[in-house]
Amino acid sequence: MGVGYVGRRLLSAVFVLWLAASLAFFALKLTPGDPAEALLAASGATPEEVAERRAQLGLDDPLWLQYVRYLTDLARGDLGQSWLHGRPVGRMVLEQLGPTVELAVAATGVGMALGIGLGTLAAVRRRTWVDTAATAVAVVGLSTPTYWSGLLAILFFSLHLRWFPATGEGGLRHLVLPAAVLGFALAGSIARLVRARVAEVLGSPFVLAARARGLPGRHVLFVHVLKAAAGPALAVTALQFGFLLGGAVVTETVFARRGLGRLAVEAILWRDLPVVRGVVLVGALAYVGVNLLADLLHAWLDPRLREGAS
């Protein structure tokens, strides 16, 4: 892979992150409410103490200076201070990151396996009842809120069958239900794209050529067709990663798991805006990072993308 492509792609990711961070900065600046007052509200501070804190936090400085300081702090991983707890936001986010990442990774695995399987099945058996059924499962997965399918899963697999614990985290047994529920929701969009792509590849000349050479159908499907469909499947999974992070937040609540979801919901209810901003920024960083990785991997799989890519 050429250094040019990697460099360009990396630069554009950094640019988008800078845009996102700037939007978050100005959005918080435009929101009414004085951070110094919010920080000291619980302790019943005097106006003098608030003024002192304002100066300490640099809130009296010109806006551009605050902005530059914010960006340099961000670059060092400093996400500011929680108004409610007075603790560094970065540390609070880091503490909750583990369970969310665990859920996101497991759900991605379930979603890709299910999505690629369903999509391939539908494409190979196109215009039969198998295709109809697989397509129907995909659109139902796409439309079912995880906060409903999660409750149904708890109802059947935890309360009735007692196979898995209903709530909490820790260990594989706690992960199965949330990952399956979130993965099912993710599988819908992957399956639809894989179906379209596999159907397209199945009709392409190189597949015909492979068949003409007398290669068995199974070999053609697994080696040629799925390899060609892997890139787009990867790209759509990366694009859906944003959906996955949002879904993880909701799924965590359903299964009463620790994680970024609980942190974000509590911060919103208490209007602890620096924490909200921290969670959202970490979400953006993860989303942009995953898409960067997927693009590089996609380009490695498909050389055409490297040349003349914009």
Q: Using CB under 8 A, list all residues that contact other proteins.
A: 16-17, 19-20, 22-24, 27, 31, 139-140, 142-145, 147-148, 151-152, 154-155, 159, 192-193, 196, 199-200, 203, 241-247, 249-250, 253-254, 264-265, 267-269, 271, 273, 276-277, 279-280, 283-284, 287-288
* Cβ proximity to other proteins, 178 vs 283, nearer residue: 283
CA 203, 224, 240: angle at the middle one, nearest 5?
85
* Cβ proximity to other proteins, 140 vs 223, nearer residue: 140
Query: Quick count: other Cβ atoms within 10 Å of Cβ 293?
Result: 14
Contact 118, 137 (CB under 8 A): yes
d(CA 304, CA 209): 20
CB of 51 to other proteins, least distance (A): 25
CB of 123 to other proteins, least distance (A): 8
CB of 159 to other proteins, least distance (A): 5
* Cβ proximity to other proteins, 67 vs 300, nearer residue: 67
CB of 55 to other proteins, least distance (A): 26
CB of 214 to other proteins, least distance (A): 25
Q: Which helix (H) or strand (E) holds 43?
A: none
Contact 100, 259 (CB under 8 A): yes
DSSP 91-112: HHHHHHHHHHHHHHHHHHHHHH
| 196, two tokens | 């379209």
Q: Which helix (H) or strand (E) holds 242?
A: helix 241-254
Nearest to 220 by CA among 233, 235, 236, 203: 203
* Cβ proximity to other proteins, 55 vs 309, nearer residue: 309
| 203, two tokens | 């009709």
**Diameter over CA atoms, the chain:** 86
CB of 306 to other proteins, least distance (A): 22
6 three-class SS: helix
* Cβ proximity to other proteins, 47 vs 203, nearer residue: 203
* Cβ proximity to other proteins, 226 vs 250, nearer residue: 250
